């Protein structure tokens, strides 16, 4: 039997985002001036080989921009490799990630049915499943409202409910555990556990090292578009965390809580070496909403154990349940 | 070597016919665009009749008397001529403009599910075809039967309409692909649409245009479709096959060219969506 996922010598070269500012006017001007603008391309994934067997649960880790999500998109068939072969055997659920491509003007029900048809399902089959999906997402009361009325957390819930309604052979998860409120996250985790127990193949991208170490058997650490480590999850996570430089004024997870506990005010001195000064953005995720926090008042006492603090997309602080902060 | 193999289409029962998947996707995508467009409107799909009808009234009030002598002194013929012309031009502009935005507008979905990209421009055209099929297209057909009393004319009406659809599809595919790379394309297309409108013998008789402009009529694909549809609906005397053939050839050529442009540019879409 063929492997569930088989990537052989895969490379992906993409046009850079600055091309977005490419327009006809500028093209015409450049043409008149006699120099056509070269298209800028860069290699996102380089000579990547990855074989995932049926039923394997693997986690993909690595710094931001290393190509983790891109690997998922290659597996999902959303992106095609520039070189190499991508073989996928079995049905693939759509990528589950923050920000779902719903039509804002359609009702929830219409979006569910449409999404299902895009996934290759039958229209009638989707109509029968609508109630179950809305039930799971806990959005049954607003089924006929336009989808734009949903908060980002709610639409993430809906996306998760649709993609997991059918038991796909291969499930691709991109930071899905960072959305929704605590209660819904537990519900999602419970549903995912069902897949975990079943024979589904799961590929999970996350910065939640604890979750990866706990739930995955195998970890792929990607850096600069190449596989840096491929092996047992616990070992991979350990090696990855050890590699993260601690000298930039930022400590992570448990260390941060310890720092707060030891300090008199419960504040962590981040001023002066603040992440935004280094061009990073700090986010607070509370009740499923993600919002930027200013660094000047970045003190732990403002936050409860429900909160997650991100720098860019990496979790730096997830205060464990039951522990008091500040 | 570059290849991507899947044992089953993106998600779903294996061995599902590829064609069935395409038609399902196009039908549902077209339906979605119609639902969004007519949510909360009173007239709904009737608007696609109201648009050319009201324009016909406006043109007739302003130009009818002045130009009727080119139509054998008959205001009725001017009205019919203007209406048939407006059906062609409004359909072409509506379908191509909607198709142009369709790939970029569905960038979010395309980043999530492996869907054939061409579904979106094709669905845009399909939605517009549906709108006209329940409004203006039957009127044009009835008009042909009533005015020409000739089976050949009536039979050729769907042929000319298909040529118009092919023409719009070709332009729609090319515009949708180009818009991914040139985000100022809608501004340009708005101007091009107006130029097309004013340079097609739509509300004025072709005879009043200067000789060198009339050469443009011959190569303007929309003017060709317009002349052909007039010939088969309100033509007098025996059928002149020239405009019909020109419209069919123009439609086929545009469809082929549009499909090739789309195919050639498709590879880089996802990098810019």
The reported pLDDT for the residue numbered B130 is: 94
- For residue A164, the distance in angstroms to the closest alpha carbon of chain B comes to 12
Across the interface, do B2 and A15 touch by the CB < 8 Å criterion? no
Chain B residues touching chain A at CB-CB below 8 Å: 1-13, 16, 21, 24-25, 28-29, 32, 35-36, 39, 106-115, 181-185, 188, 267-268, 270-272
* CB atoms B1 and A85 under 8 Å: yes
User: Which of A23, A78, A91 is nearest residue B11 as measured by Cβ atoms?
Assistant: A91
The residue with greater pLDDT, A251 or B179, is B179
β-pairing, A289-292 with A226-232?
A: unpaired
Cα A56 to chain center, whole Å? Answer: 19
| Confidence band for A264, pLDDT divided at 50, 70 and 90 | very low
**Quick one: closest CA in A to B185, which residue?**
A24
Q: Which of B16, B25, B39 sits opposite A118 (nearest CB)?
A: B25
CB contact under 8 Å between A25 and B184, yes or no, is yes
Contacts for A92 with CB less than 8 Å, ≥ 6 apart: A75, A76, A77, A168, A169, A170, A172, B10, B11, B114
- Candidates A3, A82, A90, A117: best to mutate against B (most CBs of B within 10 A) is A117
Residue of A nearest to B5 (CA): A87
Kindly determine whether residue B2 and residue A168, on different chains, have CB atoms separated by under 8 Å: no
Min CA distance, A233 vs chain B (Å)?
27
More confident residue, B102 or B1: B102
* pLDDT beyond 60 at A287: no
The mean pLDDT value for B171-189 works out to 93
Residues of B in Cβ contact (< 8 Å) with A40: none
Name the pLDDT band for A303 (thresholds 50, 70, 90): low
**Cβ contact, residue pair A85, B4, below 8 Å:** yes
Distance between A325 CA and the closest CA of chain B, angstroms = 38
pLDDT tens digit sequence for B229-255: 999 999 888 889 999 999 999 999 999
What DSSP string runs through A21-74? G--HHHHHHHHHHT-PPPPPEEEEEEEEEEEE-TT-EEEEE-STTSSHHHHHHH
- Least CA distance to A169: which residue of chain B? B11
pLDDT at residue A22, as a whole number: 59
Q: Least CB-CB distance to B11: which of A23, A101, A120?
A: A120
The segment with the largest mean pLDDT, out of A64-68, A265-269, B2-6, B166-170, is: B166-170
User: Which of B1, B8, B11 should be substituted to probe chain A, the one whose Cβ sees the most A Cβ atoms within 10 Å?
Assistant: B11
Mean pLDDT of the B140-147 span = 94
B230 to chain A nearest CA, in Å?
Answer: 36
Mean pLDDT of all residues in B144-154: 93
Of B113, B184, B270, Cβ closest to residue A118: B113
Segment B159-171 mean pLDDT: 97
| Cα A324 from Cα A309, distance rounded (Å) | 16
pLDDT of residue A63: 83
A166: helix, strand or coil: coil
Confidence band, pLDDT 50/70/90 cuts, at residue A195: confident
Q: Using 50, 70 and 90 to split pLDDT, how confident is the model at B270?
A: confident
Rg (CA), chain B: 20
Residue numbers of A between 1 and 20 with CB closer than 8 Å to B: 2, 14-15, 17, 19-20
| Residues of chain B with C-beta less than 8 angstroms from the C-beta of A114 | 28-29, 32
Quote the CA–CA distance of A118 and B214 in Å, as a whole number: 47
For the stretch B58-108, pLDDT in tens is 999 999 888 888 888 889 999 999 999 999 999 999 999 999 999 999 988
pLDDT tens digits for range A3-57: 889 999 999 988 775 554 556 666 677 666 666 556 678 888 888 999 999 888 8
Residue of A2, A22, A119 lying closest to B181 (CB–CB):
A22
Which one is predicted more confidently, B61 or A91? B61
What is the percent of chain A where pLDDT is above 90?
Answer: 17
* % of residues, chain B, pLDDT over 70: 94
| pLDDT for residue B8 is more than 50 | no
Mean pLDDT of A233-261: 60
> Across the interface, do B36 and A103 touch by the CB < 8 Å criterion?
yes
Give the pLDDT score at B158.
Answer: 96
CB A143 within 8 A of CB A108: yes
d(CA A20, CA B268): 12
Provide the pLDDT for residue A323. Answer: 42
Minimal Cβ distance to A106: which of B9, B32, B272: B32
Between helices B75-105 and B119-133, what is the axis angle to 10°?
150
Choose the closest CB to A92 out of B1, B10, B109: B10
Task: Compute the nearest-CA separation of A314 from chain B (Å).
Answer: 22
B16 alpha-carbon distance from chain centroid: 31
DSSP A105: T
- Count of positions (residues) in chain A: 326
Chain A residue at shortest CA distance from B183: A23
Q: What's the gap in Å between the CA of B77 and the closest CA on chain A?
A: 42
B114, A78: Cβ pair inside 8 Å? Answer: yes
Higher pLDDT: A225 or A288? It is A225
Percent of chain A clearing pLDDT 70 (strictly above): 63
Neighbouring residues of A194: CB distance < 8 A, sequence distance ≥ 6: none
- Which residues from B are below 8 Å from A146, CB to CB? 39
CA A175 to chain centre: 3
Q: Please indicate whether, in this complex, the C-beta atoms of B2 and A14 are within 8 angstroms of each other.
A: no
pLDDT at position B183 is: 85
Q: Are A299 and A326 in contact (CB under 8 A)?
A: yes
Look at B187 and A39; give whichever has higher pLDDT.
Answer: B187
């Amino acid at each position: 039997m063929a492997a569930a996922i088989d990537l052989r010598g895969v490379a992906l070269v993409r046009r850079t985002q600055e091309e977005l500012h490419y327009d006809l006017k500028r093209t015409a001007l450049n043409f008149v001036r006699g120099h056509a603008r070269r298209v800028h391309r860069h290699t996102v994934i380089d000579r990547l080989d990855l074989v995932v067997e049926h039923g394997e649960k693997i986690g993909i880790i690595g710094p931001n921009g290393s190509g983790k999500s891109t690997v998922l998109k290659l597996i999902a068939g959303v992106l095609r490799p520039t070189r190499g072969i991508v073989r996928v055997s079995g049905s693939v659920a759509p990528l589950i990630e923050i920000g779902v491509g719903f039509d804002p003007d359609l009702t929830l029900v219409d979006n569910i049915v449409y999404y299902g048809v895009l996934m290759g399902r039958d229209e009638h089959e989707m109509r029968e499943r609508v109630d179950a999906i809305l039930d799971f997402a806990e959005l049954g009361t607003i089924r006929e409202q336009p989808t734009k009325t949903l908060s980002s957390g709610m639409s993430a819930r809906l996306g998760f409910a649709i993609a997991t309604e059918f038991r796909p052979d291969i499930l691709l998860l991109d930071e899905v555990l960072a959305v929704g409120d605590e209660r819904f996250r537990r519900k999602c985790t419970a549903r995912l556990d069902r897949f975990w127990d079943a024979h589904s193949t799961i590929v999970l991208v996350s910065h939640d090292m604890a979750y990866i170490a706990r739930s995955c058997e195998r970890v792929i650490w990607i850096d600069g578009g190449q596989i840096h480590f491929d092996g047992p999850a616990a070992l991979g996570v350990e090696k990855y965390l050890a590699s993260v430089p601690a000298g930039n004024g930022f400590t992570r997870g448990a260390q941060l809580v310890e720092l707060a506990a030891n300090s008199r005010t419960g504040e962590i001195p981040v001023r002066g070496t603040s992440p935004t000064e280094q061009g990073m953005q700090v986010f607070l995720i509370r009740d499923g909403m993600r919002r930027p926090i200013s660094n000047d008042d970045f003190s732990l006492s403002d936050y409860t154990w429900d909160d997650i603090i991100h720098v860019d997309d990496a979790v730096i602080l997830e205060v464990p349940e039951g522990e008091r902060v500040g | 070597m570059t290849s991507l193999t899947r044992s089953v289409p993106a998600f779903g029962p294996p061995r599902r016919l590829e064609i069935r998947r395409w038609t399902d996707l196009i039908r549902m995508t077209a339906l979605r665009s119609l639902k969004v467009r007519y949510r909360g409107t009173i007239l709904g799909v009737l608007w696609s009749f109201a648009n050319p009808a009201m324009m016909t009234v406006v043109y007739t009030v302003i130009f009818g008397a002045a130009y009727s002598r080119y139509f054998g002194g008959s205001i009725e013929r001017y009205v019919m001529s203007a209406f048939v012309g407006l059906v062609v031009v409004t359909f072409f502009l509506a379908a191509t403009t909607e198709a142009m935005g369709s790939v970029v507008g569905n960038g979010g979905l395309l980043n999530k599910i492996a869907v054939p990209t061409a579904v979106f421009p094709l669905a845009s055209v399909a939605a517009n075809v549906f709108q006209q099929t329940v409004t203006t297209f039957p009127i044009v057909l009835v008009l042909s039967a009533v005015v020409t009393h000739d089976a050949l004319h009536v039979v050729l009406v769907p042929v000319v309409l298909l040529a118009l659809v092919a023409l719009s599809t070709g332009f729609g595919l090319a515009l949708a692909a180009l818009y991914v790379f040139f985000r100022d394309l809608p501004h340009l297309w708005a101007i091009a649409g107006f130029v097309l409108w004013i340079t097609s013998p739509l509300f004025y008789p072709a005879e009043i245009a200067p000789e060198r402009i009339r050469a443009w009529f011959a190569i303007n694909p929309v003017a060709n479709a317009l002349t052909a549809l007039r010939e088969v609906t309100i033509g007098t005397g025996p059928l002149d096959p020239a405009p019909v053939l020109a419209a069919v050839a123009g439609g086929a050529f545009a469809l082929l060219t549009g499909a090739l442009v789309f195919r050639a540019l498709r590879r880089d879409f996802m990098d810019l969506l």
